[in-house]
């Protein structure tokens, strides 16, 4: 696929940070806090144009207010916009995180995708549109890429999707499936995925589509601790490079898994 966007962009794509409550009786922050701080540091060091958080920034919908305040303080450090897609751990339950807390008001640079049938966010200054679909329930009938609009102009088009990827020959057996054919049919430049805890490239016929994997070693069965630097180049298209995140450590070795939920 030819590159469409007219200007060069650098995006930082992360997912599955799983920020949780601070452990009782401890003075040191858990690994997720250190990892998220390191992710923000990397975004600042690389002077990225946009940060994409493709689901499960938080481990569950009951995290303490201190954890929310920490996340918001880190997001305010950014010199660029950020888009948060709710995942299966922090989905759009009534009285969930994104109903109780207004991230847009607390962090003027942050947008949260909350529309259940899909939401397009335009960044005119970046020649970019971002689309995602809010997840109310993590179940087989929810397709994260359903209702995505066709691209209609010369801006960069980036979609966000939190769910489990399936090749064409695989029957979808898990909740929130993302089908290879769905990725191909978008015709978009990049699909920023979350849910799978290892870095993986599932690009389809010119549509770049990647999981960054979790930044936390304790949440993965393969070498984790990465974010993705996504370069959108008018001359060469979309180039994706994994970058290791410093600062995470094994706090929860008993919780190792390759995806976050069924």
69-86 mean pLDDT:
97
Report pLDDT for 153: 87
The domains of the chain are located at 9-255
To the nearest whole number, what is the mean pLDDT of the chain?
88
- DSSP summary character for residue 185: H
Give Cα separations from 56 to 6, 60, 76, 90, 253 (angstroms). 32, 8, 19, 6, 19
Report pLDDT for 223: 60
Give the CATH number of domain 9-255: 3.60.21.10
Report pLDDT for 219: 56
Report pLDDT for 23: 54
- DSSP summary character for residue 46: H
Question: Quick check: 19 pLDDT over 70?
Answer: yes
Report pLDDT for 100: 94
pLDDT tens across 122-181, in order?
A: 999 999 999 999 999 999 999 999 999 999 888 999 999 999 999 999 889 899 999 999
Report pLDDT for 6: 73
pLDDT tens across 32-68, in order?
A: 898 999 999 999 999 999 999 999 999 999 998 999 9
Give Cα separations from 94 to 19, 55, 62, 133, 224 (angstroms). 20, 17, 12, 17, 32
Name the more confident of 217 and 7: 7
Percent of the chain with pLDDT over 70: 85
Report pLDDT for 25: 47
Determine the length of the chain. Answer: 262
Give Cα separations from 144 to 31, 54, 55, 76, 204 (angstroms). 28, 11, 11, 28, 16
Report pLDDT for 233: 95
pLDDT tens across 200-214, in order?
A: 999 999 999 999 999
The pTM (predicted TM-score) of the whole model is 0.90
CA distance 71 to 49: 19
3-class SS shares of the chain: helix, strand, coil, % to 5: 20, 30, 50
76-104 mean pLDDT:
96
């Amino acid at each position: 696929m030819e590159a469409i966007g007219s200007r060069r962009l650098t995006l930082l794509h992360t997912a599955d940070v799983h920020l949780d409550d601070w452990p009782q009786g401890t003075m040191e922050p858990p690994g997720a806090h250190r990892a998220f701080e390191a992710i923000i540091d990397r975004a600042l060091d690389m002077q990225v144009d946009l940060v994409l958080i493709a689901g499960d920034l938080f481990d569950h919908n009951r995290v303490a207010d201190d954890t929310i305040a920490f996340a918001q303080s880190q997001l305010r450090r950014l010199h660029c916009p950020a888009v948060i897609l709710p995942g299966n751990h922090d989905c759009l339950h009534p009285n969930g995180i994104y109903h109780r807390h207004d991230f847009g008001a607390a962090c003027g640079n942050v947008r949260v995708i909350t529309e259940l049938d899909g939401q397009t966010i335009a960044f005119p200054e970046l020649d970019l549109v971002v689309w995602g679909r809010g997840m109310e329930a993590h179940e087989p009938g929810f397709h994260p890429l359903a209702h995505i609009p066709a691209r209609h102009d010369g801006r960069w088009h980036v979609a966000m999707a939190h769910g489990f990827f399936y090749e064409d020959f695989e029957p979808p057996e898990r909740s929130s499936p993302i089908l290879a054919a769905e990725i191909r049919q978008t015709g978009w430049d990049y699909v920023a995925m979350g849910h799978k805890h290892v870095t993986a490239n599932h690009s389809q016929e010119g549509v770049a589509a990647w999981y960054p994997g979790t930044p936390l070693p304790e949440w993965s069965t393969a070498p984790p601790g990465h974010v993705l630097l996504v370069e959108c180049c008018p001359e060469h298209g979309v180039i994706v490079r994994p970058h290791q995140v410093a600062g995470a450590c094994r706090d929860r070795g008993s919780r190792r898994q390759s995806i976050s939920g069924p």
